[in-house]
């Protein structure tokens, strides 16, 4: 594994069918040439990701959608792209025949996103191909927001690209789009209120095929530290021994905690999202801690996406 900043070298590895971890504005991704099924297979192997969980294809130019989506392309795709690309929105639409089945886990739809992160864009340009990339973590574990989070979990990567900081900190909003409108498959920093200004929201997935797992982002347990994590009950004042606590303001003095991670001094949701996975990683790495408590946030705006990640992280320990 090479760890470095050489975009040309990383792009060459992508073109030759290798794996490159790279930063985006949401989280670190683990990328391979999206149209090379052998290369994409290595992503599933490295992450130990089950084959039913499809990948997001990353592009740097809007016209690339014509090779990935099948015609007729819903006019909402252009509207969404104008409003939110480059940025943290993934659009799921009926796929073209050139997208390999391994990328979409056999679904007839493909997920596509244009990131805004300068390092990701530079890699996409230099690679001259679309890059399939899920988050660069072991399946079910915590998403990475720094290169060290990637190397902690994954070994079989050819290149870990260093670059500008990951700013948003949680995965993209995923929407399924057809002529009827769009349906949110996974909440993210782009909220329902943001989307509603551009496209009608559907009450069901317009691309759903009966019997398929329409969005594996809907799995109950995900993004979880390897230690037990519990939702903090607001009547709790004293923590059990060897506890770590993640809070979103500095209002209360947690002197029974072994370690405290404050994601935001004043409950700012963007700041909480940006620091959430770093908090999970810090607690996971701290050997003095046996269990983690995390404060919930109000479920509105970006709070919906933050609570989605928190609920999946605590699911096994409810
Ligand atoms: P990750 O980048 O690791 O967060 O994983 C990508 C996520 O995108 C998947 O877990 C799904 O939730 C979603 N996704 C990718 N492709 C599709 C698709 N064709 N249909 C629905 N959801 C998808
Ligand atoms: Mg992921």
Which pTM does this prediction carry?
0.93
Topology adopted by domain 229-317: Rossmann fold (3.40.50)
Ligand 1 mutation target, pool 186, 207, 214, 313, most atoms within 8 A of CB: 186
Ligand 1, CB within 6 Å, residue ranges: 53-56, 92, 104, 107, 109-111, 134-135, 171, 174, 185-186, 214-217
Starting at the earlier edge strand, list the strands of the sheet with 243-247: 229-231, 291-294, 243-247, 259-262
Over 80: is that where the pLDDT of 218 sits?
Answer: no
Instruction: State the DSSP H helix or E strand holding residue 39, giving kind and residue range, or none if neither.
Output: helix 37-47
Residue-wise pLDDT tens digits, 125-153: 999 999 999 999 999 999 999 999 999 99
If you write DSSP's letter for every residue of 56-118 in order, what string do you get?
A: EEE-SSGGGHHHHBPSSPPHHHHHHHHHH-SSSEEEEEEBPTTS-HHHHTT-SEEEEE----H
Answer CATH for 2-196 from 3.40.1160.10, 3.90.870.10, 3.40.720.10, 3.40.50.20: 3.90.870.10
Please provide the average confidence, as pLDDT, over all residues in the chain.
Answer: 94
Per-domain residue ranges for the chain? 2-196, 229-317
Encoded tokens for 76:
């909402």
The per-residue pLDDT for range 186-215, each reduced to its tens digit, is 999 999 999 999 999 999 999 986 555 555
Which residues are found with C-beta within 5 Å of the ion, ligand 2? 135
- pLDDT category at 251 given cuts 50, 70, 90 is confident
* DSSP calls for 273-303: HHHHHHHHHHHHH-TT-SEEEE----SSTTH
Q: How far is the CA of 140 from the centre of ligand 1 (A)?
A: 13
């Amino acid at each position: 594994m090479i760890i470095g900043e050489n975009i040309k070298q990383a792009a060459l590895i992508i073109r030759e069918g290798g794996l490159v971890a790279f930063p985006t504005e949401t989280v670190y991704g683990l990328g391979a040439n999206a149209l090379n099924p052998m290369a994409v297979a290595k992503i599933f192997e490295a992450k130990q990701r089950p084959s039913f969980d499809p990948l997001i294809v990353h592009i740097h130019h809007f016209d690339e959608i014509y090779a990935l989506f099948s015609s007729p392309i819903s006019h909402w795709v252009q509207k969404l792209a104008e409003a939110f690309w480059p940025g943290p929105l993934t659009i799921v639409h009926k796929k073209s025949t050139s997208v390999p089945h391994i990328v979409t886990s056999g679904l007839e739809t493909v997920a596509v996103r244009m990131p805004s992160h300068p390092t990701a864009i530079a890699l996409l340009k230099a690679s001259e191909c679309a890059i399939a990339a899920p988050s660069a973590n072991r399946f079910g574990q915590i998403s990475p927001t720094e290169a060290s989070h990637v190397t902690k979990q994954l070994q079989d990567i050819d290149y870990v690209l260093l670059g500008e900081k990951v700013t948003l900190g949680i995965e993209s909003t995923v929407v399924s789009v057809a002529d009827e409108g769009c349906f949110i498959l996974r909440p993210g920093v782009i909220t329902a209120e943001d989307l509603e200004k551009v496209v009608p929201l559907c009450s069901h997935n317009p691309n759903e095929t009966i019997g398929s797992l329409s969005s594996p982002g809907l799995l109950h347990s995900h993004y979880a530290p390897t230690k037990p994590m519990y939702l903090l009950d607001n009547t709790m004042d004293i923590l059990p021994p060897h506890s770590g606590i993640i809070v979103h303001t500095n209002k209360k003095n947690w002197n029974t905690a072994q370690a405290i991670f404050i994601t935001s001094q004043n409950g700012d949701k963007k700041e909480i999202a940006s620091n959430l996975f770093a908090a999970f990683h810090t607690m996971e790495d701290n050997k003095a801690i046996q269990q983690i408590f995390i404060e919930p946030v109000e479920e509105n705006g970006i709070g919906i996406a933050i609570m989605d990640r928190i609920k999946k992280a605590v699911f096994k320990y409810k």
